[in-house]
Amino acid sequence: MPGTPRPAASAATHCPYCALQCAMRLTAATGLTVQARDFPTNGGGLCQKGWSSTGVVTAPDRLTRPLLRGNGGELVPVSWEVALDHIAATIREMQREHGKDTVAVFGGGGLTNEKAYQLGKFARLALGTRFVDYNGRFCMSSAAAGANRAFGLDRGLPFPLADLGGADAILLLGSNPAETMPPFVRHLAPVRGRGGLIVVDPRRSATAALTEDGSGLHLAPRPGTDLALLLGMLHLLLAERLIDRAYVEARTEGFEEVAASVGLWWPERVEQVCGVPVIDLQSAVRRLAAAAPAHGGRGAYILTGRGVEQSSQGTATVTAAINCALALGLPGRTGSGYGALTGQGNGQGGREHGQKADQLPGYRSIEDPAARAYVAGVWGVDPEVIPGKGVPAVELLRRLGTSGGPRALLVHGSNVVVSAPNAERVTERLRALDLLVVADVVPSETALLADVVLPVTQWAEEDGTMTNLEGRILRRRKAIEPPGEARSELWIWAELASRLRAPSTWPTEPAAVFAELAEASHGGVADYSGLTHDLIDATEAAGHGCYWPVPDAPDPSAVPDGGHGTPRPFLDGFPRPSGRARAVSVTYAEPADNVRAGAPLYLTTGRLLHHYQSGAQTRRVAELVASAPEPFVALHPLLADVHDIAEGDLVAVTTGRGTAYVRARVTADQRPDTLFMPFHWGGLGSANRLTNDRTDPVSGMPDFKVCAASIARVSAAVPELEVIA
């Protein structure tokens, strides 16, 4: 690629998958090979996805040329000039006729910080549209909303991951890191050794199994009742006088109202709603309280994940978890705290710099006049040029192709046909568009619907930065040249910006884009202004990396405890006007799509060890496909008996959105009233054909994790199911 530095023979970088961002080294001398690097997050370990990550680089169907849908309906190769001219001309014509907002943009939490920043800038300046959001809305939005409201800052883990090992107890709600990020488990080992790991999950997941043999406690509530469980835990903390009263009085506000609001959540009621025995609820609360500093313990942590956050009451559930943490005096203390486990590789950085509907770089509100004026100054435009707030991802997808809604969509780093809820409706909306442009590495299910497909570079072929689940800013380094005519999105957006006569400048080198990002973030909540690529290189070489906020350039020669920047941002107070954390009362409601006649079972979804997100990458790696070749539904043996279902039978799982056809997996790890499906596949086996797109009123998070379903064995002779059979 013109102007791009040639890759080194060996590149120190990070894994292309989850937010743990394990450190690795890529060597290209004799074919691309992976070595694990020792780093505080992964300690020299990788999971199977990391070890096999080069398989995506050599995927047989890797996109290498732009594709344009011809008159015959087929995607055919064209030159970059033809593809980009077509996109720009179509957009100009559509916007002349229907206005700027006729074009929308959908981004991804796997894009580098530089790309996330430039995509938000491109949407607002080159396209002039307010309709921009990203798939991180399906990941961290509830945790972000809850943390911003309580603490004034959203950083997934506001402490280094290594701090967890010093605690006496960890309450882990709705996360299965033993499968989703296996190297994370090393940080839980000391706590397990003290019998302090408490896992909340309706399934006996691989992580829940870690609590056995005296290592902790597994609570298995009915799906959708985690909020009630947390309200009951706070009730018990108050009833048994286990709260840290001195901390509550000195460092919180609103707590007395919250305390009054949980008065009706006595343990017996919680058991009736959640199905968690009173004795287990009491044991969990007492173990957690005994670990807290106020009671002489080493420390305690409360961590939430997608299992409790991907809900139409996800923000309320996160808030209830934060309220429990505040009651115990955990946030803002070394060795204790509350945190949320980010899922996507750049789920943290991806939401900080402008690809969310309501944000400008630095985690600034797009509705704040001062923020608009500052960022406009960096971009060299009038603040009035920057559009206002758009709508969250689910609402954006609903509006596509409708009267008054966007008629064109540009997708970067996302596979919404598989990953969005109520996926069949999403597919219908995409088909209704006049122009769908998808930039991707492989022909994903979404790309196959596109009018224009743009081949882009991936992790091993590009430079940039990522921000992991701790808020640690890390360097992604180029190891090999991209194949064929694949180009970086930074180059694509610069070319389109030129064709659209966009204001401002459009650098294509990641270091130059990062320098602009740093300036644009200056003074914001997520302040990267003290950093450059060179400084990040130096802090990584020192063995730590750098945690935002970083308002001033760190001294690479002096590494403080935990790392450069701000490893623990709440020690001296919370970035709210009062300096105190805010406790907020929340109210429990039954699941929006609750069990009923005709749909008597709960359906919940999640990830597998061997696959990642929509599976567009991992389903192209032979080792991973061999380990997990097809979608399935897991059900309890009692439920299988009732429905005359045996292991391996083809079954139909039906909800109010549609039906999926998958193989049955019979296991006692399930609750008898609950079905589980992984969401890594499209087509007839897609879990998201079934999930509910009702959203959280605060965060815009859809109701992925619980809906009412039925199951039935079907004949393998049904013609449309031959591909599955």
Q: Each residue of 171-217: pLDDT tens digit? A: 999 999 999 999 999 999 999 999 999 999 999 999 999 999 888 99
pLDDT for 9 equals 73
Q: What is the pLDDT of residue 1?
A: 43
Q: What is the pLDDT of residues 276-294, one digit of tens each?
A: 999 999 999 999 999 999 9
> Looking at residue 721, what is its pLDDT?
58
In contact, 473 and 517? CB cutoff 8 Å? no
Per residue in 386-441, pLDDT tens? 999 999 999 999 999 999 999 999 999 999 999 999 999 999 999 999 999 999 99
Gap between the Cα atoms of 468 and 545, Å rounded:
10
The pLDDT assigned to 556 comes to 67
In the chain the first and final C-alpha atoms are separated, in Å, by: 45
DSSP collapsed to 3 states, 359-381: EECCCEECCCHHHHHHHHHHHCC
pLDDT, tens digit (0-9, with 9 covering 90-100), for 493-530: 999 999 999 999 999 999 999 999 999 999 999 999 99
- In this predicted structure, what is the pLDDT of residue 5? 47
CA–CA separation, 599 and 595 (whole Å): 6
Sorted by where each begins, the domain ranges of the chain are: 10-55, 67-138+347-562, 142-341, 601-721
pLDDT bracket for residue 478 (50, 70, 90): very high
Buried b / exposed e across 468-500, counting CB within 10 Å, b at 16+? bbbbbbbbbbbbbebbebbbbbbbbbbbbbebb
Level-2 CATH architecture, domain 10-55? Single Sheet (2.20)
According to CATH, the topology of domain 142-341 is: Dimethylsulfoxide Reductase; domain 2 (3.40.228)
CATH of span 67-138+347-562: 3.40.50.740
Residue 2 in this model has a pLDDT that exceeds 50: no
Can you tell me the mean pLDDT for 79-98? 98
Top CATH class, 601-721: mainly beta
With CA atoms as reference, report the closest residue to 473 among 417, 399, 529, 395: 529
SS3 of 548, please?
Answer: coil
Residue 561's pLDDT band (boundaries 50, 70, 90)? low
pLDDT over threshold 80, residue 724:
no
**Among 417, 194, 416, 146, residue whose Cα is nearest residue 304:** 146
Q: Is the pLDDT of residue 245 over 50?
A: yes
Over residues 6-38, the pLDDT tens digits come to: 555 789 999 999 999 999 999 987 789 999 999
Given a contact cutoff of 8 angstroms between Cβ atoms, the answer to whether 328 and 291 are in contact is no
